[in-house]
Structure formats: structure tokens, C-alpha cells
Amino acid sequence: ETAVFQTPNYHVTQVGNEVSFNCKQTLGHDTMYWYKQDSKKLLKIMFSYNNKQLIVNETVPRRFSPQSSDKAHLNLRIKSVEPEDSAVYLCASSDRGQVFFGKGTRLTVV
């Protein structure tokens, strides 16, 4: 049963465009995350958001920004995509150490 919903499933765009990915969780969790998956199966944390407190991984380029309207939603905006942004982006939510992932959004920048 999917409880973390991501849209779109995949997106192809050109360098310099702006993209936005949506994430919604129906678990009632207080904490949500965005991860970027690299080729070695490592999910690098980009942002975590808990009770309106945003924690940013300082290695994340400034063109990335999270957007949250309430604790069930955490969207990811990329202001001007670059080729190295091509990856799978995973949204997650957590409660008491258990982490639930969405299906991911595959971004291809051409």
C-alpha cells in the first residue's frame, strides 16, 4: 500500500528549464525528506522538513528548493536544471525511525 505519493513518475526537460516535483504523504508523519539517488545506490539527503523546520544539506546547489504547504506535502523545485541533475529523486517520510519512500521521479535533462 503506497502511502507516499510522488508525481510525476518521470520527466524529460532541457537545460535551463524549471521543474517541480510533488510529494504527498498520507501517514501523518511529521518529517519528510527529499533524496537524490546516485549510480551506486546511494541516496543522498537533500532536505529534511519537520514542523516547519527545514534542514538543508549544504552540498545541495541553490537552484534546488523545497516547498511545503503543510506537513503532508513537500515539493521539490529546481530553478534552472543542469545536466548533472539527471537522476532519480525520492521523497520519503518518517516516524520513530521507520522511513517510507515514494516511487521516485526520474529526471532526464537533455
Partner 1 sequence: GEQVEQRPPHLSVPEGDSAVIICTYTDSATAYFYWYKQEPGAGLQLLMSVFSNVDRKEEQGLTVLLNKKDKQLSLNLTAAHPGDSAVYFCAVITGYQNFYFGKGTSLTVIP
Instruction: List contacts with partner 1 (CB under 8 A).
Output: 2, 4, 33, 35, 41-45, 48, 57, 97-104
Residue tagged 534542514 (cell numbers): 55
Q: Other C-beta atoms within 10 Å of 35: how many?
A: 23
Q: Between residues 18 and 30, which has the closer beta carbon with respect to partner 1?
A: 30
Q: Between residues 35 and 64, which has the closer beta carbon with respect to partner 1?
A: 35
Whether 74 contacts 49, CB under 8 Å = yes
Question: What minimum distance in Å lies between the beta carbon of 40 and partner 1?
Answer: 9
Please tell me the distance from the alpha carbon of residue 28 to that of residue 26, in angstroms, as a whole number. Answer: 6
Question: What minimum distance in Å lies between the beta carbon of 98 and partner 1?
Answer: 5
Whether 64 contacts 54, CB under 8 Å = no
Q: Between residues 66 and 102, which has the closer beta carbon with respect to partner 1?
A: 102
Question: What minimum distance in Å lies between the beta carbon of 43 and partner 1?
Answer: 4
